[in-house]
Amino acid sequence: MDINNLTAKMSLEDGASPAKSRKREGCLKWEEFFMANAVLAAQRSKDPECQVGACIVNSAKRIVGVGYNGMPNGCSDDIFEWKKDLKQLYVCHAEMNAILNKNVIDVKGCDLYVTRFPCNECAKVIIQSGISTIYFLEDKHPERQMYVAAKKMFVAAGVAVRQFTTDRKENIEIRLRISPKPQPEPQSESQPESQAGSTA
Ligand SMILES: O=c1ccn([C@H]2C[C@H](O)[C@@H](COP(=O)(O)O)O2)c(=O)[nH]1
Ligand SMILES: [Zn+2]
């Protein structure tokens, strides 16, 4: 079959099922996809009060770092205190973790998607890393000194800060179908001895 015939055949087959030949509408926009990654990362946090997620994206729209708030490596989530005024001594913030987890040499000029407005400590790390734009989901405590300081530093350093918005009407859902683990077959009383402990 020459190439012209093949093309003709393909377009005929496409014509037979027009619904499938058209692109799917309503897929996630890039910004929605990146913020959804930050929201998903936050689900890894063990903080009982506040789960934060962050996702760093380069100019080629590749995710180059993801993080969530958690205890430092080797500091057990079960031993170190999650109590309100104690956790701040230990917890690594999502933004800092995302920057440290980067899989590229540096994150200069990258965008940061984060579920919560960054605090002053994260603002310093964000600025020093060269991240140029921040998209945040919520700014729950704009009056707190640490967030006022963070804003002041972002303005001085020329980091653009925008609240994430979308015109999507429905929630973005992750449909993860969980199939129950297969249960071992109950052993019948009459089974021969040799098969009872078999792992085959
Ligand atoms: O920039 C930030 C600010 C806070 N977090 C995390 C760190 C802690 O786990 C909580 C703080 O919770 P509060 O109840 O507001 O004290 O949020 C972060 O990851 N990044
Ligand atoms: Zn912070």
* 22 contact partners, CB below 8 Å, separation of at least 6: none
Q: What span, in angstroms and rounded, lies between the C-alpha atoms of 177 and 3? A: 42
CA distance 19 to 37: 30
Give the whole-angstrom CA distance, residue 92 versus residue 125: 12
134 lines ligand 1 (CB under 6 A): no
**Span 89-145, pLDDT tens digits:** 999 999 999 999 999 999 999 999 999 999 999 999 999 999 999 999 999 999 999
Residues with C-beta atoms within 5 A of ion ligand 2: 93, 119, 121-122
State which amino acid sits at residue 82. W
Task: Please state whether the predicted TM-score (pTM) of the whole model is above 0.90.
Answer: no
Please name the residue whose Cα sits nearest to atom 18 of ligand 1.
93
- Using the structure block, give the residue that is written with the tokens 């890039």: 30
> Does ipTM surpass 0.95 in this model?
no
DSSP structure string for 119-149: -HHHHHHHHHHT--EEEEEE-S-TTSHHHHH
| CB of 70 shorter than 6 A to ligand 1 | no
